């Protein structure tokens, strides 16, 4: 008790003196430490920005729930349990498995672990039937009536409709990418950047109408 009180008093004096608070770094055998090292690797940096953001969100939750556990003790049962906790949202479960596979395949390749605990863990089954309804011209017309020119929603409808860009690339398209009626942007897919040029149709130019694209 006395030792704790002494430590608290030291922390209080340090705070009053404006000294930065010391934080405990992750133990070198912990899952949080392993995740941090993976983020620094060529494999981690080679992922597209969209995939990195997605996996960073997954790793954030992993660190919160199991970051202090020794990574060498993560077993197939642990991975399956993580998948089952996300079973109600199969896409999140698949993303969780993809992130953990990437992490432990790398860890095995650099001899941090002997066994990859994700081996043999199956992805959750995809829902039967169409997940998204393909829009018809009637759907587009209804959306245009709901969101007229001058609204942000209309901008993104037409950007997606008239550029053919993937969602992850479309959300990155800004005014700086457009010059003389042509949009030029580097697409991101699996870490490979490919520059594409897209002549803007008159309908899209009318939609943008000089408005900020964000």
Give the pLDDT confidence score for residue 209 in this predicted structure: 72
Report the top-level CATH class of 26-125.
mainly alpha
Domain boundaries, the chain: 26-125, 137-208
How far is it, in rounded angstroms, from Cα 171 to Cα 160? 9
| DSSP letter (8 states) at residue 132 | S
Give the pLDDT confidence score for residue 19 in this predicted structure: 44
Sign (positive/negative) of CA torsion 133, 191, 196, 201?
positive
For the chain, the C-alpha Rg in angstroms (whole number) is: 24
Give the residue among 98, 96, 110 at the shortest CA–CA distance from 38.
110
Distance of CA 103 to the CA centre of its chain: 15
Where b means 16+ CB within 10 Å and e means fewer, 137-176 reads eeeeeeeeeebeeeeeebbbbbbebbbebeebbbebbeee
- Report helix, strand or coil for 30: strand
Tens place of pLDDT per residue across the chain (214 aa): 444 444 445 444 544 444 444 444 567 889 999 999 998 888 888 887 778 888 999 999 999 888 999 999 999 999 999 999 998 888 899 999 999 999 999 999 999 999 999 999 999 887 666 566 778 888 889 998 998 888 888 888 888 888 888 877 887 777 788 888 888 888 776 555 678 888 888 888 888 775 545 5
**CA distances to 139, 166, 181, 206 from 151, in Å:** 18, 21, 21, 12
């Amino acid at each position: 008790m006395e030792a704790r009180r002494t430590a608290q008093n030291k922390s209080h004096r340090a705070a009053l003196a404006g000294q930065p608070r010391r934080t405990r770094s992750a133990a070198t055998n912990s899952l949080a430490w392993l995740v941090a090292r993976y983020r620094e690797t060529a494999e981690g940096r080679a992922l597209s920005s969209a995939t990195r953001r997605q996996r960073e969100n997954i790793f954030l939750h992993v660190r919160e729930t199991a970051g202090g556990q020794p990574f060498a003790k993560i077993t197939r049962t642990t991975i399956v349990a993580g998948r089952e906790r996300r079973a109600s949202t199969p896409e999140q479960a698949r993303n969780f498995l993809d992130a953990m596979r990437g992490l432990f395949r790398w860890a095995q390749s650099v001899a941090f672990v002997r066994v990859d605990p994700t081996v043999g863990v199956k992805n959750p089954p995809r829902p039967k039937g169409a997940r998204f309804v393909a829009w018809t011209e009637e759907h587009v017309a209804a959306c245009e009536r709901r969101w007229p020119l001058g609204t942000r929603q209309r901008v993104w409808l037409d950007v997606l409709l008239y550029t053919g860009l993937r969602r992850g690339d479309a959300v990155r398209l800004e005014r700086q990418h457009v010059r003389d009626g042509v949009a030029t942007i580097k697409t991101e897919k699996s870490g490979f950047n490919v520059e594409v040029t897209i002549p803007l149709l008159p309908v899209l130019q009318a939609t943008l109408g000089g408005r900020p694209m964000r």
